[in-house]
Structure 1
């Protein structure tokens, strides 16, 4: 990535006041003065920041997405943020769907210690365990426990012997794991699932009734999820150095792949997250790790674990919204790295 003399994180309030984007140093953005009222700036955007902004506003991969918030950062925190449109900022809470999987996997590995994981536990985290749910309900009734969610009234998870050892993208693997580990915990209140997650990850994710579906029921904001990603980058989790371990093929037509929603070419699945890559000179190499949600929430860290990225949005009617967010987010990142807007 290009190195610049200045990095800027723009707050949503300044951006919305301008109608597009504010600029200046981080101090300028955080603390407007009498000489610089809210929505004005002291300095122009860098060519890299402007390229990212232009791409977010006009790229063919981003314009169909509606309003969203995009952020790039390091283990020290945000570098640059862009709200596109109005109504979505770094602190907007929304359902994050399958982005929940990375959080639950991180908390589970943290609680057990990677060295203590059994083969069965690893298979439930990389979706080769054979445990598949029959339906897609999130078990969101107040007072529901993880055990209730597992049973026939809700997700109805069952073991499929023919799928044991094969990759099958499905929340049932994690639902079975949660049943054995935190089965009596509820979505909200005393002894909640999110209390358990937050205590292990050092996060402050909010509670919701659907938290009892750990593979897809969590809610949060970019700011909430950012904490997890920065700690992941700074080696504060057991999972930090284990992002490529126990990975299995997860692309359509891949060996031992029964079902996958991935449409972005060759990819693998590790412990609760996707492993993205690209083929260069005939060799496939890892480019990053992610956990896109069905409604469009897309968290990502690069292969070197020096950068994180988030695209936060929630469109609950649509198809392949996570993939659409991935393509847009990567286009904005490329524009920021090259200083050239992407079409």
Structure 2
């Protein structure tokens, strides 16, 4: 039987705002043996895969989540996947809510080139621009444009000067960015938002009328999103090497934080995505990057950029808590997979 080894990578350093991030080491997850390919029978599972499966089925972090699909992979593709329950697979299309933010930010930076981004553009990408949605009405009507979505019938984005320079988690920042860049584009048909996104990311995300809300209106499957994550860790995007740049404190009570839904410990926000971490010996260290959606869709890339992970589920009535539930479950499964020990 093939043995499983671990490859230890060198220090991973992220210099974030205020110089609060230290350097950590990232350990590669075990590579599944040839006797246990993706989708193997239960009897063929390795100890690592069995631990992940047991955690998905019995962990207190995962049992309340009903049906979901979990996947871990690297730059070459999926390594192991768990479809828990029925009705959710790698190809199940669902609204991904705030997971849209990472896609749009990636496409925007790809389009402009990071070196060409103005200060105001960076502030919209890291949610410190002062542009805030006045309501949460989804721009899902056929024929709606990005410009329409920005207006009073839908998002009604306004500029609040007192919030300029402060972190305020809200889709208005990206809506303003899209208004100025792709304002005439629609959700479906000729000159759609997704045509623009897919052309820049090399993805095949499906069109929907709500795509004109680039901070939360996209739909897709784990298989669709996987392509973005793989290209991200394969250094195929401008954003690939910029996951920690222009980041700002984003935790409750953090400096210059006006509003955040982040309920865990310390975190930062970069260009359209969360920067997760943990405190080791008194120093906060990056552990990964993510963009959880309100209906439970959770994409993640580790700090070393050699692993990605997805948890796909679709709660009909979402909220920021659903994204946090998915994050907690997904990370428990990942830990079980890496250690070969089921997590409680």
- Aligned partner of 2:7 in structure 1 is none
Equivalent residue for 1:6, pick from 21, 28, 32 = 32
TM-score relative to the length of structure 1: 0.90
Q: Which residue of 2 aligns with 1:201?
A: 201
Structure 1 position 44, deviation (Å): 1.9
* Contact 1:7–1:79 (CA under 8 A) maintained in structure 2: no
Count of residues in Structure 1 that have an aligned counterpart in Structure 2: 317
161 and 24 in structure 1: CA distance in 2 versus 1, 3 angstrom threshold: same
Alpha-carbon distance between aligned partners in 2 of 1:333 and 1:115, rounded to the nearest angstrom: 35
Where in structure 2 are the equivalents of 1:1-343 lying within 5 Å?
1=27, 4=30, 6-7=32-33, 24-26=36-38, 44-319=44-319, 320-343=321-344
1:25 deviates by 3.0
Contact 2:36 2:46 in 1 (8 A): no
Q: Give the drift of 1:5.
A: 5.9
Residue equivalent to 2:6: none
CA gap of 1:162–1:333, structure 2 versus 1, over 3 A, is same
**Alpha-carbon contact 2:28-2:307 (below 8 Å) kept:** no
Decide whether the 8 Å contact of 1:7 with 1:80 is kept in 2. no
Q: Secondary structure of the residue that 1:340 maps to in structure 2?
A: coil
Q: Please report the TM-score for the alignment, with normalisation by the length of structure 2.
A: 0.90
Q: RMSD of the alignment, in Å?
A: 1.4
Query: What secondary structure, in the 3-state scheme, does the structure 2 residue paired with 1:225 have?
Result: helix
Which residue is equivalent to 2:9?
Answer: none
In structure 1, distance between residues paired with 2:29 and 2:167: 39
Worse overlay, 309-318 or 48-57: 309-318
Shift of 1:4: 4.2
Determine helix, strand or coil for the equivalent of 1:149: helix
Unaligned runs of 5+ in 2: 1-26
Residue by residue over 1:30-69, the C-alpha shift from the partner in whole angstroms, topping out at 9 and shown as x without a partner, is xxxxxxxxxx57x621000000000000000000001000
Cα distance in 2 between the residues matched to 1:176 and 1:70: 33
Deviations 1:181-239 (A, max 9, x none): 00000000000000000000000000000000000000000000000000000000000
* Closer, same or farther: CA 52–213 of 1 in aligned 2, 3 Å: same
Q: Which runs of 5+ in 1 are unaligned?
A: 9-22, 30-39
8 A contact 1:146–1:178 mirrored in 2: yes
Cα distance between partner residues in 1 of 2:29 and 2:331: 18
Query: What CA distance in whole angstroms lies between the structure 2 residues aligned with 1:180 and 1:276?
Result: 30
